[in-house]
Amino acid sequence: MVRVKICGITNIDDALAAVDYGADALGFVFFKGSPRFISPEKAASIIKVLPPFIHAVGVFVDESPAEIGKLISATGVNLVQLHGEEPPESCRMPWRVIKAIRVKSLDSLAPLVQFKKYVSAFLLDAYSPDKLGGTGMLFNWDIAVEAKRFGRIILAGGLTPDNVIEAVKYVRPYGVDVSSGVELAKGKKDLGKMKLFIERAKGA
């Protein structure tokens, strides 16, 4: 069964609802340039009350390993997602790492060869010239299928309750990731959409 990550969590109500609906992981964005940014203090207060077996994923953009370590200690995050222009060697960390790749074309997969020995999975998101994530944009899923040659794939980019069944059946990814596709507003989830997304993803 596909794993589901709900990203851009900013409040306890959305976090606990996502878990109740069956999410496997929650994403906390520590990049201050994001409209879904959450402070370490607030993230810690949410992560502290999560039930067992739920992964708390810290999303970082071009952050130093030292700073990532501080945030992990302060928050209880147990997975690292790197969403910037980090070089492969920066993924050599004592924590499990997900490397986000912004997909523009098949050529976007070229770096995966260098990254694969350092990371637990690749998150594939749609390329946008002015946004690092949460774009709500789709990309060619044939590229995601090709990317599976390099390791586990978490499919992101433009997923919604309306297309997630098709996405899971077509790509057969290790996991799916959604943020803007289940939002009422940036940083606030639509609980009905979130429930439907998780049910459909896991039922596909």
Residues catalogued as catalytic:
7, 125
Rg of the chain in Å (alpha carbons):
15
Burial class (CB in 10 A: 0-12, 13-18, 19+), 194: buried
Q: Which is nearest to 143 in space by CA: 134, 132, 135, 155?
A: 155
CA distance 5 to 177: 5
